[in-house]
Amino acid sequence: MVIYVVKQGDSIYSVARSYGVSTAAIIDANGLTNPGRLVIGQALVIPNPAAYTVKSGESLFAISRKFGITQAALQRANPQITDPSRLTVGQVINIPPQPKLGTIYVNGYAFPNIDMTLLQSVLPHLTYLSIFSYQVRPDGSLITINDTALIQAARAANVAPMMVITNIAESGGFSSELANTILNNQAVQNTLLDNVIATLQSKNYFGLDIDFEYVFPRDRQAYNAFLRKVAARIKPMGYTLTTAVAPKTSASQPGLLYEAHDYPVHGEVADHVIIMTYEWGYTFGPAQAVAPLNQVRRVIEYAVTAIPRQKILMGIPNYGYDWTLPFVRGSAARTLSNVQAVEQAARVGANIEFDTTAQSPHYFYYSAGRRHEVWFEDARSIRAKLLLVTQYNLGGISYWTINRAFPQNWTVLDFMYNVRKLI
């Protein structure tokens, strides 16, 4: 796999010809909806051809660099070449497949309203499908969701469906008060667990994902006790337990989002811990990368000291934001998919730039006299994040969410890793 960055004058045809692949292969690998309209700075995934025709001036070393493989690997795949310094124009050589970096767990969050055709295209790339979400009520009952079709589709594709419970209030938004009620009332907890287990059994779920956010710091120990109680009830029944936690860089990090999430306890109790390593750039904040690699790395460097590495699933965002500048506190950015971000860049005539520190693409444009700034994800940023899994020996990754199409992401994932299947 090669990630190519579009330059002035490039076309799908010229790029395909340069790498000896078909235009159809590039269009399919990237899910291009308008291949005749490339954007300067746009990242394209180029699948390696099985065979390549040597062009004028090319050496074995140059070809190995072109396809991101070692010269030694290229030589081994072409034992007929006795003199690597002497290639003939028109000579056809074998391009060996790139070895994968390992086998990982991949979780994808999905809302029940996901397009079923999109879901079917993504399921082969997942270990878990976490369906968002059953909202807990103060009395321990649950607000149910229409999840049957998603569970059935997941199991048919050998993907483990996960029930997700949240402290999202009926009025909307994560509620600290609701979590406080649940975490400090044993009778309510017992009712909640009875309802959770009944749902796990009746809906044929594989396990449970607990996503309690904005828990009062004073409820930290109560939350820990609740997690242990849940584990003691559902694990003997054969269900797996996953938790979602805020992106902390230290055990003592202050803030309502962070303090009640006790990494060591989550790492002890849960089978997997999803770290929500995104939202540095967020709807009501100033323009910046949603998941800048330097910040994500800081979180992971702390996480591996507190949670067993193979239990960690690093969060990856599947969306971007469009901010209107200058930023004014209280103003809201517009959410858009990564595919929409590139399509918009083409429409407004923007060139895509790449921040090497954040390892994230972005661009500027003007609309109605106002300057806009857009940050999103592409093949380069996804590859950089996925490499952290190998660098830190993590268990895998978790996408928030899979409701938006992002074909390029799945192409990159498949080139880099095998996806673990549990059913």
User: For domain 2-94, which architecture applies?
Assistant: Roll (3.10)
pLDDT digits (tens, 9 = 90+) for 278-323: 999 999 999 999 999 999 999 999 999 999 999 999 999 999 999 9
Candidates 3.40.1360.10, 3.40.50.300, 3.20.20.80, 3.40.50.720; CATH matching 103-419: 3.20.20.80
What value does the mean pLDDT of the chain take? 97
User: Is residue 83's pLDDT more than 90?
Assistant: no
pLDDT above 70 coverage of the chain, percent: 100
Helix/strand/coil (H/E/C) assignment for every residue in 382-393? HHHHHHHHHHCC
54 contact partners, CB below 8 Å, separation of at least 6: 63, 87, 88, 89, 90, 91, 92, 93
Q: What is the pLDDT at residue 84?
A: 85
Q: What is the pLDDT at residue 106?
A: 99
Q: What is the pLDDT at residue 85?
A: 82
Q: What is the pLDDT at residue 184?
A: 98
pLDDT grade, residue 37 (50/70/90)?
Answer: very high
Active site residue 213: yes
Taking the C-alpha atoms of residue 159 and residue 129, their distance in angstroms, rounded to an integer, is 7
Distance of CA 296 to the CA centre of its chain: 12
User: Is residue 244's pLDDT more than 90?
Assistant: yes
Taking the C-alpha atoms of residue 217 and residue 254, their distance in angstroms, rounded to an integer, is 9
User: Is residue 86's pLDDT more than 90?
Assistant: no
Q: What does the domain layout of the chain look like in residue ranges?
A: 2-94, 103-419
Q: What is the pLDDT at residue 346?
A: 97
Q: Please identify which of the residues 58, 170, 177, 213 carries the catalytic annotation.
A: 213
Name the percent of the chain in helix, strand, coil, to the closest 5.
35, 20, 40
